[in-house]
A and B are shown apart, each in its own frame.
Chain A
Amino acid sequence: MRDFIFKRIAAIIIPFICIYGFYVILHGASAAGGSFAGGIILGLAAIVFSTIYGLKKGKKKFPEKVLFCIESYGTLFYGIIGMIGIINGAPFLANKLAGIDLGIPGTLTSGGLIGLLGLGVGIRVANTLLILFFTMEGADS
């Protein structure tokens, strides 16, 4: 898979895949999609990179230490964002009860904290996918 055409097409298309993944994650509250689907799309962008450019280059770009760190801290990020509700005197993961301005319905910020929560979950899903891929691909060597 080290073809010139593959590499050029991947270099052009991967940024757009990443933008689409972040779009699906951040618009999870108001449009179709969500953090899981967006995270899978983000993970697929990294998998496409490490399939076409080689496993060695992929592991150099996404070191396993960083992957494990981000996987743990994505969950921690979710918990910290949930704690905002408790700090403001409302239940865990509270959104409007915690005094967050939701703005106009239908816009990006009308989800309140859901976009940030989705970012944590999505990054975690992408990392898990990448770790799975690296583990399975590197099993034979």
Chain B
Amino acid sequence: MELIVADYWIMVLLFILVVASLAIYFIKDLLHAVIVYGVYSLIMALVWLQMNTPDIAITEAAAGICVTILMMLVVFRTNRKEEE
């Protein structure tokens, strides 16, 4: 099997994906974990784009990066207010 440039590109992206998802598990601070989740979603959107599904990439960029992060931040802020 012959590997082309796109295959190496996907390999790099998937490696970052694995590192990011492991980092979410090991990071103790909630805000930092939410930010790293944004990195995970961005890399996932690039993977979708690399696999020739631009519509899924748009959805991932909108739903995964923006909405999920926003909702998590809102919950995080509400949670912190209650703790104080």
Tell me if chain B binds chain A. Answer: yes
One of A37, A43, A51 near B58 (C-beta < 8 A): A37
Taking CB atoms and an 8 Å cut-off, the chain A residues in 24-59 that contact chain B are 24, 32-34, 36-37, 40-41, 43-44, 47, 51
Contact assessment for A40 and B59 in the assembled complex, using a CB-CB cutoff below 8 Å:
yes
Contact assessment for A136 and B78 in the assembled complex, using a CB-CB cutoff below 8 Å:
yes
Total cross-chain contacts (CB, 8 A): 43
One of B58, B59, B63, B78 near A140 (C-beta < 8 A): B78
Q: Is A137 an interface residue when CB atoms closer than 8 A count as contact?
A: yes
Residues of B within 8 A of A129 (CB): 67
Interface of B, secondary structure class, is helix
Known contacts A40-B63, A40-B66: does B71 contact A33 (CB below 8 Å)?
no
Q: Is B81 an interface residue when CB atoms closer than 8 A count as contact?
A: yes
Report Cα–Cα, A44/B74, bound state, in Å: 14
A38 to chain B, nearest CB (A): 9
Known contacts A32-B54, A40-B66, A44-B66: does B59 contact A136 (CB below 8 Å)?
no
A interface size (C-beta, 8 A): 19
Contact assessment for B55 and A140 in the assembled complex, using a CB-CB cutoff below 8 Å:
no
- Name which residue of chain B comes closest to A24, CB basis: B58
Taking CB atoms and an 8 Å cut-off, the chain B residues in 45-75 that contact chain A are 54-55, 57-59, 62-63, 66-67, 70-71, 74-75
B interface size (C-beta, 8 A): 16
Contact assessment for B78 and A139 in the assembled complex, using a CB-CB cutoff below 8 Å:
yes
Q: Is B82 an interface residue when CB atoms closer than 8 A count as contact?
A: yes
Report Cα–Cα, A40/B71, bound state, in Å: 13
One of A37, A132, A136, A140 near B62 (C-beta < 8 A): A37
Known contacts A40-B62, A41-B62, A136-B78: does B67 contact A34 (CB below 8 Å)?
no
One of B58, B59, B71 near A132 (C-beta < 8 A): B71
Known contacts A34-B59, A36-B59, A40-B59: does B67 contact A136 (CB below 8 Å)?
no
B55 to chain A, nearest CB (A): 4
Per CB-CB distance, the 9 closest pairs between chain A and chain B, nearest first, are A32-B54, A40-B62, A37-B59, A32-B55, A37-B58, A140-B78, A136-B74, A33-B58, A37-B62
